[in-house]
Amino acid sequence: MGGFLSFCYRQLTVKPKPLPSNTSLKGKTALITGANSGLGLEAAKQLATHHVSRLILTVRDAEKGEAARTSILEKTPNTNVEIWTLDHEFYDSIVAFQQRVSTLDRLDYALLNAGVKKMEYSTAQTGHETNVQINHIGTSAVSFAVLRALRKTAHQLNAPTRLTIVSSEGHFWIPFHERKAETILERMDDKATFGHQMQRYYTTKLLNVLWTRNLASKVPAEEVVINTVNPGFCYSGLHRHESTGIIKIFLWAFGWTSAQGGHCLVDALVQHDGSHGKYLSDQKETAPSAFVLSEEGKTAETRIWDETIALLQKEVPGVNMSPFV
Ligand SMILES: NC(=O)c1ccc[n+]([C@@H]2O[C@H](COP(=O)([O-])OP(=O)(O)OC[C@H]3O[C@@H](n4cnc5c(N)ncnc54)[C@H](OP(=O)(O)O)[C@@H]3O)[C@@H](O)[C@H]2O)c1
């Protein structure tokens, strides 16, 4: 996969399926980031349909969170839905989130879905380029926040728990020249390297794949099954920063619904017990890009891990990265 024709073929011929109807999530606790809209909200609705016992939606805006809760309760009125605030742009928010996660008595599923696609260069509150901050730095910090709770639950249950990070097929489509820089993340903050249109966004989605693989290599599959998923090209608010009409034509011709994207997320989170470290697309384990699998890709994977840990240590002393640091 990864080529334009295979993208078109997949979008036109594959119809993502919901979980098998007999899947029961009774007794389980699930957490989804960026869950007030789009694919995250659809994934939440599906988990509710399968009777998940505690459903935690993280949102930036509590009002949007309440609207999401209401829309879930319309069809599944007995679901226990909690709204937690989390903004990847603010380190205080990530640290407070981590503290709150540490109070959970159990966490079975974590779906790290929050993301943005900024087509024009901008910087976040932290000074980093916005796509880099939200999609990579924020997601990586949040992965540490949930991992401790997932591991603790796995030990209590003597069964693996699950962590899924949402990436994109777009990780195939970028040159990733920044890999040659002395510090990759610093180079990605540089406006001169922003590239055109979706290049920076797709590069951050490549970082999601690299991060997932490295994290999975450090955590036994018997504790937490960690994978990454391409949800497919779907209608959602993600595309709102695209100013040309081309995206509308593409969505009309090839787009899946948000619900279908949500099927892909939930499939990766709940099914595929053997998918530790793997990339899923079209609800199947599939190979990530040739770059990811190459020696250069493996070097980049280690460098991104080391650079991200160093950045978090420097900028967010409150984030607990044990047992990795
Ligand atoms: N839709 C597609 O075609 C497609 C394709 C490939 C991959 N993906 C991936 O799928 C995931 C979900 O995207 P979507 O399509 O459902 O888009 P979406 O509807 O825009 O949802 C994105 C979610 O992320 C949240 N978010 C944005 N900035 C955040 C921040 N600073 N901190 C915390 N949360 C933040 C948004 O909250 P607000 O509502 O407050 O902004 C929203 O809940 C993303 O990771 C995206 O990269 C989507």
Inform me whether the pLDDT recorded for 242 exceeds 80.
no
pLDDT for 112 equals 98
Query: What is the C-alpha to C-alpha distance for residues 28 and 257, in angstroms, rounded to an integer?
Result: 27
Tokens matching residue 122: 């901008």
pLDDT digits (tens, 9 = 90+) for 152-193: 999 999 999 999 999 999 999 999 999 999 999 999 999 999
Query: What is the C-alpha to C-alpha distance for residues 187 and 158, in angstroms, rounded to an integer?
Result: 43
pLDDT for 248 equals 87
Q: Is the CB of 89 under 6 A from ligand 1?
A: yes
Cα distances from 113 to residues 31, 54, 180, 222, 231, in angstroms, run: 10, 18, 28, 23, 10
Inform me whether the pLDDT recorded for 203 exceeds 80.
yes
Percent helix, percent strand, percent coil in the chain, to nearest 5: 50, 15, 35
pLDDT for 245 equals 80
Nearest CA to ligand 1 atom 45: 115
Inform me whether the pLDDT recorded for 243 exceeds 80.
no
Hey, which of 14, 169, 236 would you mutate to test ligand 1's pocket, going by the most ligand atoms within 8 Å of its Cβ?
A: 236
| Other C-beta atoms lying within 10 Å of the C-beta of residue 212 | 29
Nearest CA to ligand 1 atom 37: 34
pLDDT for 241 equals 79
Residues of the chain with pLDDT > 90, as a percent, come to: 90
pLDDT for 132 equals 98
Residue 39 and residue 45 in contact, taking contact as beta carbons nearer than 8 Å: no
Tokens matching residue 9: 């073929």
Q: Which helix (H) or strand (E) holds 162?
A: strand 161-166
* Greater model confidence, 248 or 274: 274
Q: Which helix (H) or strand (E) holds 285?
A: strand 284-286
CA dihedral 212, 214, 217, 220 (to 10 degrees): -50
Q: Is the CB of 115 under 6 A from ligand 1?
A: yes
Inform me whether the pLDDT recorded for 295 exceeds 80.
yes
Inform me whether the pLDDT recorded for 104 exceeds 80.
yes
| Other C-beta atoms lying within 10 Å of the C-beta of residue 240 | 11
Inform me whether the pLDDT recorded for 195 exceeds 90.
no
For residue 81, what are the β-bridge partners? 55
Any idea which residue has 């490549």 for tokens? 206
pLDDT digits (tens, 9 = 90+) for 12-71: 999 999 999 999 999 999 999 999 999 999 999 999 999 999 999 999 999 999 999 999
119: phi then psi, degrees, rounded to nearest 5: -90, -15
The span from the first CA to the last CA of the chain, in angstroms, equals 36
183: phi then psi, degrees, rounded to nearest 5: -125, 110
Catalogue the active-site residues.
168, 201, 205
Q: What mean pLDDT is predicted for residues 253-260?
A: 96
Which of the following CATH numbers is that of domain 4-315: 1.10.1500.10, 3.40.50.1110, 3.30.70.940, 3.40.50.720?
3.40.50.720
Average pLDDT of the chain, as a whole number: 96
Tokens matching residue 171: 């990780």
Query: Residue ranges of the domains in the chain?
Result: 4-315
Distance 259 CA to ligand 1 centre (A): 14
pLDDT band at residue 325 under the 50/70/90 scheme:
confident
Q: What mean pLDDT is predicted for residues 125-140?
A: 98
pLDDT for 246 equals 86
pLDDT for 1 equals 60
pLDDT for 223 equals 97
Q: Is the CB of 113 under 6 A from ligand 1?
A: yes
Hey, which of 42, 63, 116 would you mutate to test ligand 1's pocket, going by the most ligand atoms within 8 Å of its Cβ?
A: 116
